[in-house]
Each structure stands twice: as C-alpha cells, then as structure tokens.
Amino acid sequence: MKLFSKERPDIPIVNHLKADGTEWTVKEKLWLGLSVSEYKKQFFRNPVNWLMIAIFAVGVPLIVGRYIFGLGWVTHASNDYPWGLFLGFGLFGMVPLSASGFMLGTTVELFGRKDFHAIERLALLNGLLGYFFAVLFLEVDLGMPWRLPYPMFVSLGPAAVLFLVAWHVATYLSVQIAEVLPAFFEWIGWLKGKRIIRKYVLGLTVAGIILSTLHQGALGALFTYAPAKVHPLWLSVNFQWIHFFCSSIFAGLSMVIIASTLIKNFMGWRCDDEFKDNLDYITIGLAKGASYAMITYLIIKIVAVAHDQEWSYLLTGWGSYYMLELGVAVVLPMFMFAIGIRNKWVTLIRFGAFIAAFGIIWNRLNTALICYNWQMYQEIPHWKEVWITITIYSLYFLTYRFIVYRLPIVYGWKGEK
C-alpha cells in the first residue's frame, strides 16, 4: 500500500471526492481506490499475508473438523480441565486487552480530555474487535454454539455470574458498535446517522463504564466458583473481581499503545498528521494512566495475600512462579513506564506495553489453566487447539487491518463534517 500511496495523489482516500472532482463509490473505497489487479499485487507483496495464508490453510480445516467431529477432536479439554486455551486465551485474555474502549471513551467524552482525541477511535475499535473475537472464541468452545442466545431469551439463570458476563458482554458489544459507527457513517457519507449517535455519546460512555466494570470483574468472579481448585495465590475469593478489573485497565491501555505503535510503523501512509504528531505525547499520557493502575494492582495483590494469610505459599515453587509473574508482568513494565515517562523515552514505554500485554495474557492463562487443578496434574493444550487459537487470532488481525486501512480511525475524514 505504501507504494501506491506515494505514487498516486488521490490515495489514500480521505475524502468523498476524487482528485478530478467526481465521487468515490463505496465499492472503490472498499478496494482502497485501486483496481483489482493493483489490489492483488499489493496484497501478495506483503509477506505477512503469506504467513496468514499458511496459518489459514491448516487452521480452517481444523475449525471445520471441530464442528464435525466434536470438541474432543481438537482439544485436550477434559472433564478435569473443562476450560482450555480457547477460553483461557480467547475470552479471559482478549477481554481485558479490549478494555481500551471504555478507558479512552471515558477519558475523552467524560473527562473532556480532548488531547487524547486522536487515539479515541483506535481505542474504541480495539475494544469492539477484541470483544467480538472473544465471542468468536467462545463460539468455538461452546458445546452447543447454536444456543448462544439461550441465556438471553430462552432459559435464564440470573443468579449465575456467567449470566452477568453474557448479558454485559452482549449489551456492551452493542454499545461499542454504536461508538464505532460514526467512523463508518463518515466513510459512507451518511452524516445524519453520525449526528444521531453524537447525541447519545455520553449515555453510551457511562453505560460502557458500568458494563465494563461489571463484566471484567465478573470474569474474575467466575473463578470464585472453584475456591478449592485454583491455586490460592491466583485466587482471592474476596478480591478476585477487583484484581481482574484493575488489571484490565492497564491491559487495555497497553494494548492501544501496541496497536498505535504497529499502525504508525507499518501503516504510516494511513495516519494523518494529527495522529502522527500527537502519538508520542498520547503514549506518555496512556503510560501514566497505566502505571497508576499497575501500582494499585500491585497493592491489592499484596493485600489479598495478606488477607488470606498466604505468606507461606510464597516460599514454595508456586510462590516463586507467582513472584516471577508479578515481577515480569507488572513490576518490570511499571518501571519501564516510569522511566519512560520521566525521560520522555517513548520507545521504552512501547516495549513496556508489549510486556504488560503479554503479562496479562500470562496471568489469565495461569488462573484458568496453569494454576487450575494445581494439586492434580498439568494440562497441556493439544496442537490443534493451539493452531485454531492462532488462526482465529490471525483473523482478528486481518479484520483489524482491513478496517484501519479504510475507515477514518487514525485519520480525520475530510469534507463535510
């Protein structure tokens, strides 16, 4: 894409009008203003796409097989380990990394921090896609995927934590769609729709905070159903929901830092000056927010150990593993953020964000898989399970890129406002 964006003045599309004054059709916008053969050329020139093709070549048949031969064909999930990688990574890992939507929505719309405006849409999109794909992971994992709406409409068990998760994720997903729609409306040129949504932005944002607090917390609370199964260091019956909620804050912020870094480096042609010029400043701001959340998280983690009287566990092998997790996943990035903020070293912050995001996934996998049934035996995911997980994640990546290429996410739409 870089090639074309340099050579052709009307690409990338940021306006309804072509250079010669005629209007782009939606179809032309979809092809990024290229002819089909040009589009193909740019697609196959990109080595990332070849990697994707390789992943899908194996992954898609595996997914099809899962729906024909059953879950047992692709996973090691068992009667002792009902939740494997699909949920451990796809649901418990993806959802906190998608907390960026409500974080930035709140910052910009609610607290009126207009200086973060340039990244708001990216954060919203990151949130929306993260949730959407978490549901997709769920669809692979559910025994009866066709019954996804049952907890909503057919048979309700409102006293169950998962009921809250289901309802909140579903409603929040629609809130997020509404929040991302204005970008879409600008792109197709339907300004009325945008204005309608503008009116409800505050309501949507507040709804977003409520729903996020509750279901990020609820994901943690799910493990309180298994007080005797998860290792005590990873499960604090009283604080689990706060741990999950609080860590989702820096997870979401780190994830936007990562996404914006990747976009700036690999899609520079798509970003406008507002985005590019402000990004370093914004990244520092995001890191500030994240480090506050991290210090809070660290404190409540220690409070939980103290409250449950678990000091002696810290001296065991599991204890060392626990400290390793906290050290690498929280303390290290926290210091990187702190030093980065102080000296305005944005690159250090960006590395820190990568580590923090990895750390969150690690923590969720620890809770859901590695430290689950710690007294029994260790479950090792099946290779097909790993491959399917990577396949769906690649689909997530492609969708993300597809949208950022086109919609005004990291650039402002020119023309009628």
3-state secondary structure of 17: strand
249 near another protein, rule: CB under 8 A: no
64 near another protein, rule: CB under 8 A: no
Q: Which residues pair with 372 in a beta bridge?
A: 230
Exposure on the CB side of residue 335, measured as CA atoms within 13 A: 6
- Positions in 327-366 near another protein (CB under 8 A): none
- Positions in 14-43 near another protein (CB under 8 A): none
CB under 8 A: which stretch of 6-14, 68-76, 252-260, 339-347 binds another protein? 68-76
CB under 8 A: which stretch of 36-44, 52-60, 150-158, 281-289 binds another protein? 150-158
Q: Which residue type, as a one-letter code, is found at position 384? A: K
296 near another protein, rule: CB under 8 A: no
Shortest gap between Cβ of 157 and another protein (angstroms)?
4
70 near another protein, rule: CB under 8 A: yes
Q: What's the CA gap between 187 and 160, in Å, rounded?
A: 41
Q: Which residues pair with 230 in a beta bridge?
A: 372
In this complex, which beta carbon is closest to another protein, that of residue 36 or of residue 154? 154
Q: What angle do CA 392, 395, 396 make, to 5 degrees?
A: 90
The answer to whether 101 and 176 are in contact (CB under 8 A) is yes
290 near another protein, rule: CB under 8 A: no
103 near another protein, rule: CB under 8 A: no
Structure tokens at 182: 């204005």
Interface mask (CB under 8 A) for another protein, residues 206-245, using x and -? x--xx--xx--xx-xxxxxxxxxx-------xx-xx----
316 near another protein, rule: CB under 8 A: no
The answer to whether 95 and 248 are in contact (CB under 8 A) is yes
3-state secondary structure of 372: strand
CA nearest 387: which of 7, 20, 47, 64? 64
Give the residues lining the site for another protein (CB under 8 A).
66-73, 75, 77-80, 82-83, 106, 109-113, 142-145, 147-148, 150-151, 154-167, 171, 202, 205-206, 209-210, 213-214, 217-218, 220-229, 237-238, 240-241, 376-377
